[in-house]
Structure 1
Amino acid sequence: MSEMNHSSPSAPQSPAQSPTQSLAQRGNNRSRQPTNEAFRDFIGSGWGPRPSDPPRRSDAAPWAQARRAALGALFPGERLVIPAGPLVTRNNDCDYRFRPHSAFAHLAGTGTDFEPDAVLVLDPLTVPGQRVEADEPTHEAVLYFRPRAPRTSEEFYADPRYGELWVGVRPSIEEVEAATGIRCAHIDTLGDALAKDAGADAVRLRVVAQADAAVTALVDRVRQAAGLATDQAARQADDALAEATSELRLVKDAWEVDQLQAAVDATKAGFDNLIRSIPRARGHWRGERVLEGAFGARAREEGNGLGYETIAAAGDHANTLHWINNDGPVEPGQLVLVDAGVEVDSLYTADVTRTIPVDGRFTTAQRRVYEAVLEAADAAFARAGEPGCRFRDVHTAAMEVIAARLQEWGLLPEGVTAADSLGPEGQYHRRWMVHGTSHHLGLDVHDCAQARREMSMDAELVPGMVFTIEPGLYFRADDLRVPAELRGTGVRIEDDVVVREDGRIDYLTAAIPRTADDVEAWVSGLIAQ
């Protein structure tokens, strides 16, 4: 990324001698783009036609259309603004790889990295208060983005953010319309489109405010010009839209479940790759990163990348719940807790944890902890399949087992039973299991986080819900309340499950070994290859 400067050396100019140049402008000093017309004519000519393959309609398009209809029905007569979000600066002029906001991805159905600064607008077809029949559309979707510029433009060769020579061939209006089934328009027309008919007695606006600060500011300017609220009332309206987009994802459609199964299958391949790298990890001063890298390589090969930062925690590091430093060695006799998931191109992610014996065999003490956690996971799975089970009941079932095993091992305070610990004034078992057992899973690893409690944690399980079951036990090396043979041992087992149409609970992760015997056979077999 460097550029040689062949100008003759000279003494540095004083600030008074230097031409005035803003800090923002100085970032372009290393690139010297020609500006003469002859060069523009030259670089814009002599190109053959671009690939002419007809654009294919995305598999997600009809599903996304149904989601937009469901959201629009909640806000008849209002203009709904769902930004994809901007590029995020990593450092100086380098950006992170773009990932659209999950609400945008869910409603547009575009997947992967479409398209920095794009905005999906659901434009009302009715006026506020108008009665709408059940099957009558309430909104028209319009997708605003910056289509590719002609090769004769300066953008083509000189714009590092949008230029074709910098970022590749970007889509046209017609191509995106064909792929998504959504009417498209140039992003430069967004302001006028938002302002059309806006007013207290006409169209009100809501925006997913967290997605793109610039778009939120634009919406607020339109509101102010139209005499609409821009204060706390506006923020409450926007929060209600964010809440609705989150709750819309609580129940997955059949296409989404298929995407999640694909993410789990890719994650299994990633775990296989990771286990094969254990022999090299054992001899490396940062063995945890050897494991992390082996999984990450497969995540990029099989999908879009990682759904979240991989945890590859050997030994006592497993007792730090969000251990993502992954900078420690991997020693013989240890367990490695690996919490990892592949995000596929549609942006749906798996979330799987397996606790792996480095030598391919659990010690007696390690197996005791592992089988207690497995028993808790199995109890949670069984409770989830009972009629009328609520989301919070899954955690309760797992904790009943955890508390019982801790009492059996003499770890609860003297005189405290498992039942005492499970009560609101107890909770002593949480010293060794401090997190929840389940969360929704989808486009976000912790999906539907803005949903109301009564719609999520307190809700009854219904077909289409996809969630994790992930109890654990964590005995830190410095925990003097546990026997010496258990100190430094951390175990978590995490599976992804779906509620089927008949109410049955299925493992999406059924192909990933989870019993102690099966894990030993899995690890020993792959290490020996």
Structure 2
Amino acid sequence: MNQTEPLTQHPETIEQPLEERVNNRSHRPDSDAFRAFMAGNWAPSSTELPARAAVADHAARRRRAISEQFKGERLVIPAGPLKVRSNDCDYRFRPHSAFAHLTGLGVDHEPDAVLVLEPTDEGRGDDGGHHHATLYFRPLAGRDTKQFYADSRSGEFWIGARPTLAEFKALLGLACVDIAELEVAVTKNVGDPAIGGVSIRLVRKVDENIDALVDTARYNTAQDPENVDLSALDALDEKLAEALSELRLLKDAWEVEQMREAIAATVAGFEEIVKSLPRAVGHRRGERVVEGAFFARAREEGNELGYDTIAAGGNNATILHWTRNDGTVDEGELLLVDAGVEADSLYTADVTRTIPVNGTYSDIQRKIYQAVLDAADAAFAAAVPGAKFRDVHNAAMAVLAARLEEWGLLPVAAEVSLSPEGQQHRRWMPHGTSHHLGLDVHDCAQARAELYLDGTITAGMIFTIEPGLYFKAEDLAIPAEYRGNGVRIEDDVLITADGPVNLSAALPRTPEDVEAWMARLSG
């Protein structure tokens, strides 16, 4: 073809549908002979059903608890769809946390699935509740179908086998139905309960298609569609999201075990970080070496990272959410690493340690580190059943403000700084000391303030304790010796009837123990 020849002379290129062009990279066979040949001579799939999962009974109790709060209403909890990373490549799938919590499903085999809790007569539902739960998902296509070899998102030839309806039912103790029946299940008899309809609540902004399905059903059945009270509908859905978030404030025994597994893998990941330091110090992107060492362990022992790793050397440690991780790791500086492994169950750890790159804290580094450690210990002492969640933060702040005053850094007395009208100490510690932890690294985030920030510490809670001090290199309010040092110590804490248990205690915390730990791993 002449380079100046008009492209319009090749209509087959111009007329190709846009949705087909994303697959221009591959030529897939589609002849009748190929399809016939592909459909036969496959070994039969196993018909043996899996044993009931240990999580099944726990998930059933969670559904029962939600059923109590929404009698007579249909509840729709989507897992969410696959998300495109680039062109025709998707991110690894992770279901919405509310879906995972109520089904017990983790890992990556249920994109587009939806859990529906259908209202029944009171007391006639699952486990004596008021709803019957059904999981709708796309079952594995047969090997005699085109989907088997042609669908790169769900075909077995591309992504491997997925559970059948019968397998999921046996595993989860849940009724399982083909997703083709979802639309009817969600939209049937939706309407005003006062005239015999069923009210519906949805976990929104998880799956746009399900949002649209529910919205259409609500409008189509409204008595006055032109004047639908959107704020009232939003309130219905927000209340469900709130309840599902609050349900996770207390962890059951199975969840605690998942957290222990995630934290154990995280401890192993931190050991890999120390072993990687000699290579990190000599690399132009030493922080990436550290990040990669931890990520390898996360993928070996868990599902993924629970969140993007913060691997911050030197002054980068003063940037609270430093995830670019493209800096150097230099002798004589501190390295702050905030990282957590997400277990296959999707429960995640969240741990931070600040270590000396050369294995020994300098005098000023040790001074700052000890202040943060003392603040953390004070927070632990305050984290007892019956205390307020805010008490944990306040205890840490009292220690840090006193040290900052002692060092001559505060422009006012510590007592004045700690008052609501002061807060000058927060220049160097601007974040909260604790957050709930579980399926999300910042778990239970939609819970009401009176149950979270103003809530009472109760046995079964798991949250972080993570005070810090961050002295930026460009901070002219402090002497030069402090600048460029950021320290955070973060542990994951289980509240029991006897008090707090540090689930991440296997990682050294005191400066002496950190130095000895690093020497042992480097030897």
- TM-score, length basis structure 2: 0.95
Aligned residue type for 1:329: T
Deviation at 1:231, TM superposition (A): 2.1
Task: Give the one of 135, 143, 146 matched to 1:151.
Answer: 143
Matches of 2:127 and 2:172 in 1, distance apart? 21
Answer yes or no: is the 8 Å Cα contact 1:359–1:524 preserved in 2.
no
Answer yes or no: is the 8 Å Cα contact 1:223–1:230 preserved in 2.
no
Matches of 2:326 and 2:127 in 1, distance apart? 56
Which region of structure 1 is more displaced relative to structure 2, 391-400 or 188-197?
Answer: 188-197
Aligned residue type for 2:399: V
**Per-residue displacement from partner, 1:78-108 (whole Å, max 9, x unpaired)?**
1100000011111111111000000000001
SS at match of 1:453: coil
Aligned residue type for 1:396: N
Task: Give the one of 222, 227, 250 matched to 1:227.
Answer: 222
Matches of 1:174 and 1:134 in 2, distance apart? 18
Q: Which residue of 2 aligns with 1:363?
A: 362
Deviation at 1:238, TM superposition (A): 0.7
| 1:119 matches 2:111 | no
SS at match of 1:371: helix
Identity of aligned residues (%): 57
Decide whether aligned partners of structure 1 residues 134 and 103 sit closer, same or farther in structure 2, where only a CA change above 3 A counts. closer
| 1:350 matches 2:349 | yes
Deviation at 1:136, TM superposition (A): 3.1
Matches of 1:45 and 1:504 in 2, distance apart? 62
Matches within 5 A, 1:92-491: 92-126=87-121, 136-200=128-192, 201-227=196-222, 231-385=230-384, 388-413=386-411, 416-491=412-487
Q: Which residue of 2 aligns with 1:5?
A: none
**Per-residue displacement from partner, 1:114-133 (whole Å, max 9, x unpaired)?**
3110000011113xxx6999
SS at match of 1:454: coil
Answer yes or no: is the 8 Å Cα contact 1:438–1:469 preserved in 2.
yes
Matches of 1:522 and 1:52 in 2, distance apart? 50
Matches within 5 A, 1:44-55: 44-55=39-50
Which region of structure 1 is more displaced relative to structure 2, 25-34 or 201-210?
Answer: 25-34
Matches of 1:421 and 1:80 in 2, distance apart? 47
Q: Which residue of 2 aligns with 1:522?
A: 517
Answer yes or no: is the 8 Å Cα contact 2:288–2:326 preserved in 1.
yes
Answer yes or no: is the 8 Å Cα contact 2:376–2:467 preserved in 1.
yes
Structure 1: runs of 5+ lacking an equivalent: 1-7
Deviation at 1:455, TM superposition (A): 1.0
Answer yes or no: is the 8 Å Cα contact 1:390–1:459 preserved in 2.
yes
**Per-residue displacement from partner, 1:440-493 (whole Å, max 9, x unpaired)?**
000000001111100111000011100000000000111122121111010000
Answer yes or no: is the 8 Å Cα contact 2:125–2:131 preserved in 1.
no
Decide whether aligned partners of structure 1 residues 9 and 51 sit closer, same or farther in structure 2, where only a CA change above 3 A counts. farther
Matches of 2:179 and 2:35 in 1, distance apart? 25
Deviation at 1:225, TM superposition (A): 2.4
Q: Which residue of 1 aligns with 2:11?
A: 18
Answer yes or no: is the 8 Å Cα contact 2:396–2:467 preserved in 1.
yes
**Per-residue displacement from partner, 1:264-285 (whole Å, max 9, x unpaired)?**
1110000001110101111111
Q: Which residue of 2 aligns with 1:4?
A: none
Deviation at 1:223, TM superposition (A): 1.7
What is the total number of aligned residue pairs between the two structures?
Answer: 514
Deviation at 1:52, TM superposition (A): 4.7
Answer yes or no: is the 8 Å Cα contact 2:126–2:133 preserved in 1.
no
Deviation at 1:291, TM superposition (A): 0.6
Aligned residue type for 1:42: F
- TM-score, length basis structure 1: 0.94
Matches of 1:140 and 1:507 in 2, distance apart? 39
Matches of 1:179 and 1:328 in 2, distance apart? 46
Decide whether aligned partners of structure 1 residues 133 and 67 sit closer, same or farther in structure 2, where only a CA change above 3 A counts. closer
Decide whether aligned partners of structure 1 residues 280 and 17 sit closer, same or farther in structure 2, where only a CA change above 3 A counts. closer
Deviation at 1:37, TM superposition (A): 2.7
| 1:34 matches 2:29 | yes
Decide whether aligned partners of structure 1 residues 12 and 494 sit closer, same or farther in structure 2, where only a CA change above 3 A counts. farther
Answer yes or no: is the 8 Å Cα contact 2:82–2:111 preserved in 1.
yes
Q: Which residue of 2 aligns with 1:3?
A: none
Deviation at 1:337, TM superposition (A): 0.3
Decide whether aligned partners of structure 1 residues 13 and 42 sit closer, same or farther in structure 2, where only a CA change above 3 A counts. farther
Task: Give the one of 65, 68, 72 matched to 2:63.
Answer: 68
Matches of 2:379 and 2:124 in 1, distance apart? 43
Aligned residue type for 1:247: E
Deviation at 1:214, TM superposition (A): 1.0
Deviation at 1:25, TM superposition (A): 2.4
